[in-house]
Structure 1
Amino acid sequence: MKILFVLTSHDTLGDTGKKTGFWIEEFASPYYALLDNGAEITIATPKGGQAPIDPNSATEDMATAATKRFETDAVAQNEIANTVKLSTVNAADYEAVFYPGGHGPLWDLANDETSIKLIETFNAAKKPIGFVCHAPAALKHVKNVEGFPLVKGKNVTGFSNSEEAAVQLTEVVPFLVEDMLKQNGGHYSKGDDWGVHVVTDGNLITGQNPASSELVAETLLKVIKPLIND
């Protein structure tokens, strides 16, 4: 069971002078949930090399069992420091792809042609594609096999406008995930702010926020296993 993780390479939070990147919980929780179930995971980024961790996600206040495990996991840390360049990845080598969030994807993965084509390839092959929190930003320009926005007519979720307002970044981000999903024709839903909310529509799995990351991974696993057994 080979799964591709795609992380952002972007580390600058707009014009604020602050750093961003991927949200460590949204990587660590799914990473260990899948790894512990026998998955072989490859981590890729647009630029390759070190994937930037959002410093706000690495604080003690944000710590979870998964992030604490990552802090003592030299193997996983080495994989984050030496990610594969996305342009070298072949979708045929993997059963599924998963995109952790953090604000970084809003700036790079949303517009990255290699990422866009990769998701389109996974989708055309009916392989599971998973996204959590801000990661659905990577779907902004992705088309389905008919040439329409991939999320058009699909049930989806992602970081909500109210959650973005709560972290006071509404005016900083290049676009709002909730608005984009709706504009592209997605049937957007959300749960309580910061609560667990995961939506599955065919091979597309989306989670609303960091709290939803582990359930996204568990859902991804449930979708993958029958495909492998076939």
Structure 2
Amino acid sequence: MKPSKKLIYVFAALLALVVILAVALPYILHFRGLHPDYDGETFDLSGKKALIVTTSHGVLNKPGETTGQPTGIFASEMTIPYYDFLDANMEVDVASIQGGKVPIDPQSFYYFVSAPEDERFLDDDIYKAKVENSFAVAEVDFKDYDLVFFGGGWGAAYDMNDSIVAAKVSDAYYNSDVIFGSVCHGALAFTEAKDKNGGYLVKGRTMTGVTQRQLKTFGIEYTPYHPELELKKAGAIYKAESKKILEPLNTLTVIDKEKRFVTGQNQNSSHETAHLMMKTLTELQ
């Protein structure tokens, strides 16, 4: 029995609607707040150096497990700050906790969530070489840089609060004028850093990072360290925006009173965080 013309028309209309929604989805998400554009001040920081620090953990797993869903840094949390710094004529290096190839969450390249800077990265052989051969954190000195930016992603929940990272943050804080920045889980780089009296370096500082609500939104069953909880435990004054129904579309960037730590809530905060770091650097020169 042949399908009626009416049924064919309905099917064609539904198919057309699905295609239209698929094409429009990236624009809808962007309009609602994903990877917002940043039209702020531009900078010329020739002669200055920046470092992007990423996770080395590439699997969502539980203790004792060696396999699981691939993860790593969320691409835009390393591509956006990198190109913001590079376009300001800064020299930009890349380090990861263990060094070598940086694991990138494959989901961050999905067409409806990727940022323009992700596409730029995929066509940039120089940057790709840096990501394939990143410096190990143990091999770099944060004091050699003017800006040090810690990216997030689910991988950072496993290793970004490494004791070596914490020690290097404390050392650079006390022995240089470096400005630190982070987005999302990158804030874990600060939660174990200690002050000269053995207390938490971030105590009393206004900071942000990914919220518990966002973790629940994505249905993540297990990651060992959560920025909102760890920042609060370390005594930071935790701030976050939750105005939008879809938590991953919220964004907030804050800076502490001393202007040494600039932190962004999630991947949507990358541009604003990078630019506020550069603005602060120019003000302190």
Q: Give the TM-score category using the shorter length.
A: over 0.9
**2:201 matched to 1:146?**
no
Rounded Cα–Cα distance in structure 1 between residues aligned with 2:111 and 2:213: 24
Residue 197 of structure 1 corresponds to which residue in structure 2?
252
Q: Secondary structure at the match of 2:159?
A: coil
Aligned partners of 1:165, 1:183: CA distance in 2, in Å? 20
Question: What are the superposed Cα offsets for residues 131-169 of structure 1, whole Å, 9 maximum, x if unpaired?
Answer: 101111122211123321122111111000111110111
Shift of 1:84: 1.0
- For 1:145 and 1:99, locate their aligned partners in 2 and report how far apart those are by CA, in whole Å: 23
Structure 1 residue 4, shift from structure 2 partner:
1.3
What residue in structure 2 maps to residue 95 of structure 1? 146
C-alpha deviation, 1:225, in angstroms: 2.0
2:178 matches 1:127: yes
| Residue of structure 1 aligned with 2:273, choices 201, 210, 216 | 216
Of 138-147 and 113-122, more deviation after overlay is shown by 138-147
Residues 96 and 122 of structure 1, relative CA distance in 2, 3 Å threshold: farther
Task: Find the structure with the greater CA-based Rg.
Answer: 2
Q: Which consecutive residues of structure 1, in runs of 5 or more, have no partner in the other structure?
A: none
CA displacement at 1:19 relative to structure 2: 1.1
Task: Decide which moves more: 200-209 or 175-184.
Answer: 175-184
CA separation in 1, counterparts of 2:143 and 2:189?
Answer: 20
Give 1:181's aligned residue: 231
1:12-161 residue pairs with structure 2 within 5 A?
A: 12-15=59-62, 17-110=68-161, 112-124=162-174, 125-161=176-212
The Cα shift of 1:59 comes to 1.3
Deviation larger for 24-33 or 123-132: 123-132
| Change beyond 3 A, Cα 1:175–1:92 | closer
* Deviation (angstroms), 1:48: 1.3
Which structure 2 residue ranges, 5 or more long, are not aligned? Answer: 1-47
Aligned-residue offset at 1:109 = 1.9
Q: Give the 3-state SS of the residue equivalent to 2:68 in structure 1.
A: coil
Pairwise CA distance, 1:120: 0.9
Map Cα deviations across residues 172-224 of structure 1 (whole Å, 9 max, x no partner).
11132111111111111101332220010021110001000111000110111
Cα distance in structure 2, aligned partners of 1:187 and 1:165: 22
Matched, 1:11 2:68: no
- The RMSD of aligned alpha carbons is 1.4
Identity %: 31
* Partner Cα distance (1:136, 1:11) in 2: 18
Counterpart AA for 1:49: G
What is the TM-score when the length of structure 1 is the normalising length?
0.93
Greater relative contact order structure (CA < 8 Å, 6+ sep): 1
- Residue type at the aligned position of 2:73: F
Give me the whole-angstrom Cα distance separating, in 1, the residues matched to 2:159 and 2:96: 10
Contact residue 143 and residue 178 of structure 2 kept, 8 A: no
Cα separation, 1, equivalents of 2:186 and 2:211:
12
Q: Deviations over 1:58-117 (max 9, x none)?
A: 21121111111111111111110010122111223211211011111111121x222111
Counterpart contact for 2:146–2:177, Cα < 8 Å: no
* 3-state SS in 2 of match to 1:206: strand
- Partners of 2:157 and 2:201 lie apart in 1 by 17
Query: How many residues were matched structurally?
Result: 226
What's the secondary structure of 1:80's corresponding residue?
Answer: helix
